[in-house]
A and B are shown apart, each in its own frame.
Chain A
C-alpha cells in the first residue's frame, strides 16, 4: 500500500498513518499476515521522523490491528477475537449513533441514508457469514 502524509492537514502525522492502515485493512487492501514497511523504510519514504512512524505502529499494535514479530517486521494481525460480541456491538453502536447524528443534522432521510450505506458496503471487506463464532 502507498502511505501518504500531509502536513497541512489538521490531523497529526501519526494519526494519518493509523487511519490509512485501518482503512486499508477495512477495504481489503491489506489482509492478515501482510507485511508493513519497516519504520526506517517508511520514515525515509515519507521524510518523517522515525519516532512518528514508531508511534503510529505502537498505537496500531496496542489496538490489535498489527503485530510486531521481533526481527521479522510488522504484520497485519488476524482480526481481533478477544473482544466479546457484546463489547463489539456496543462499540459499533456508538459509532453508528455518531453517524446517525451527523446524517440527521445534514438533513438526510432514513431512506437516503440506507441507500448510501448499501451503496458503499461493497467497497469494504467484511468477515464472511457464519465465520463469526461468537
Chain B
C-alpha cells in the first residue's frame, strides 16, 4: 500500500506550548482516516501543517509522495481541502464561487458539481451571504469534490450542521468513498459519524498521537472493569495499560487499554468478589480514554436538606 499522507516527527509550538508533538502519521491510499481529539488537542494545527498552511517547527509532511513544501501544481490539484466552518467569499454567488474555484484546476467535473448542487437544491444564482450554515457546507463540499481529488482533507466538516444536513453530507461523502482509490482524512467530534465513516482512527491527546489503529480495534481494546469488594476497595491499583481508576466505597472502576491476560491477573490478585467487564461503544471508549483523571463533580445545586455544605462553602 502506498502512503498518501505521511508525516515524520512533525512538531509545532505556539509560544511555550507544544501543540503537536513528534507526530508520525500515515494514511494509506483508499483509507478513510478519522482524526480525533478533544478541543485544543492539535487536530486543526495538524491539518494546517499537512496542507502547508502552518509551518512546522520541525519534521516534514509528504503528500502523494511529494514534500508539501515543494508540491508541484499538478500534485496540488489532486488534493482538496474543506476548512473548518466552510469559509467562502460572502459577496459571491454560488455560480461565481464555482467559476473562482474552477480557475485553480485543470481537471474539473462539471457534471458531478451540477449533480451535487442539484441534489442539495442549490441554485447558481444564490448569494453565499444568504445561505444557511448547512448550505455553505454543501457548497464547499461540491467545490472540493468537483476537481475529483485523490486526497480529501476535511477539518470538522459537520460541525454545527443539523442532523438532517449532517446525514446528507455524510451520504455524499460515502458516494465519494465509492469512487475508487479516494483517500479521506477528516477530523470530527461526532463519534457516531466517525464509526460510520472511518476505517482507521487517530487520537491526539495534548499534541501526541496516542492511538492509531483500525476503528473497531480501538473500541474493542478499551474496556471498563467494575470490581466489587467485600470491604472498602483498594485505592492505589496500577498496572500497564491503566487509563484511569475510580474508587467508590466498595467498588473500583478501572479503564484499561489493550485488555489482556497480564491485566486480568493483576486485577484478580486484588481478590475482588466480582469482576464485571463492560464493553464500550466508540463514544464511551473515546471519553474514557481522553478524559484523564476523573475528579468529583462540583456541587451545582442540591436539595435544601443537603444545602448546608454548599452554604458553608459560600460563606467561607
Contacts and interface: CB of A to CB of B under 8 A. Distances in A.
Interface string B129-158: 000000000000000000000000000000
B178 A12 contact: no
Contacts of A48: 174, 196-197
Contacts of A52: 196
A8 B192 contact: yes
A11 B282 CA distance: 10
A8 B281 contact: yes
B279 A13 contact: no
Contact of A50 (B167, B178, B198): B178
Interface residues of A, number: 19
A9 B281 contact: yes
A40 B196 contact: no
Contacts of B177: 43, 49-50
B174 A47 contact: yes
B32 A49 contact: yes
B174 A12 contact: no
Nearest to A39: B178
A44 B174 contact: yes
Given A49-B32, A49-B197, A51-B199, A12 B191 contact: no
Contacts of B195: 7, 12-13
B280 A49 contact: no
Interface in A103-125: none
B220 interface: yes
Given A8-B281, A12-B220, A47 B171 contact: yes
7 A-B pairs with the lowest CB-CB distances in the bound complex, closest first: A7-B192, A10-B279, A12-B216, A7-B195, A10-B281, A48-B196, A47-B170
12 contacts: A7-B282, A9-B281, A10-B280, A10-B284, A12-B195, A12-B216, A12-B219, A13-B195, A46-B196, A47-B171, A49-B198, A49-B199
Given A10-B284, A11-B279, A47-B174, 17 more contacts: A7-B191, A7-B196, A7-B281, A10-B279, A12-B195, A12-B216, A12-B219, A13-B195, A44-B174, A44-B178, A47-B170, A48-B174, A49-B177, A49-B196, A49-B198, A50-B178, A51-B32
